[in-house]
Amino acid sequence: MRMRPTLSWTPTEDLPPATTDLEPVVAALNTGGVLVLSGAGISTESGIPDYRGEGGSLGRHTPMTYQDFTADPRARRRYWARSHLGWRTFGRARPNAGHRAVAAFARRGLLSGVITQNVDGLHQAAGSETVTELHGSLARVVCLSCGAFSPRHELARRLEEANAGFEPVAAGINPDGDADLTDEQVGDFRVMPCAICGGILKPDVVFFGETVPPQRVEHCRELVRGATSLLVLGSSLTVMSGLRFVRQAAQAQKPVLIINRDPTRGDPHAVTRVALTLGAALSTVADRLNIPVDGQATAGN
């Protein structure tokens, strides 16, 4: 039976109230050494839905699990058909004001790094250079047999050639790049094997049910140890993948600041949660710090 991923969490204690005051975020960035941890919420303004927010994709869509993908050829066909179609839209997404503000903070030397739970590459597209992709990247493909990596655009070309005329209309796109298609729309979609050894190809992302590589987790823990504070952007922190770094920072008495419209599982560990839309909030922070975004001068307060 296919297992649904964690959809929500239920607070076991009263959460501290949210605020709209951005001054603690401004002060933290002014100090420097801020480590950013971003989630799907920072990409919603780029047209990529999040998992658990209002209208989140988990209400209608169960992401592929690692166990299903590796064990069931039919599941792989369904995944690659949906992902191939989704990639056409996903690959056209562009950074929004939130991504651009984070890149601007980094250029000013205020950040110690960026950890993202997203697989969309939008932080890098906005100009951020020191980005750790906690859950990998849809722009890469890995062979589960020989371990070879290849660019996603190469596989996309092979899939286009093998599935000429595949043009179904998807009901929606999801944060993992998976488009909503029925089994009838998937049809007899042809899946491509590894061009080197003929093995099973998988996007270089961490599926639900799969663990983040230990060396990547340790690298992130090292980033937390070296930061002065942790700024969480657009993550519900429902799963332990990101929550563990919030807990680590709080245990080390490093301030945790969260910008997320909805309550998060990390709220009890945070000094503040700002309930504002990320693009507008981060643009305001940049303005108050007199930091140009996209090369345009901003007026300081």
Q: Which residues are annotated as a binding site for Zn(2+)?
A: 143, 146, 194, 197
List all residues 6 or more positions away from 64 whose beta carbon is below 8 Å from its beta carbon: 75, 79, 176, 178, 207, 208
Cα end-to-end distance, the chain, whole Å: 57
Q: Which helix (H) or strand (E) holds 260?
A: none
Return binding residues. 39-59, 117-120, 143, 146, 194, 197, 234-236, 278
Of 84, 99, 123, 135, which is the active-site residue?
135
Taking the C-alpha atoms of residue 254 and residue 256, their distance in angstroms, rounded to an integer, is: 6
Return binding residues for NAD(+). 39-59, 117-120, 234-236, 278
Active site residue 123: no
Of 299, 296, 286, nearest to 30 by C-alpha is 286
Of 256, 147, 267, 136, nearest to 205 by C-alpha is 136
Q: Which helix (H) or strand (E) holds 205?
A: strand 201-205
Of 54, 25, 260, 39, nearest to 133 by C-alpha is 39
Instruction: Return the active site residues.
Output: 135
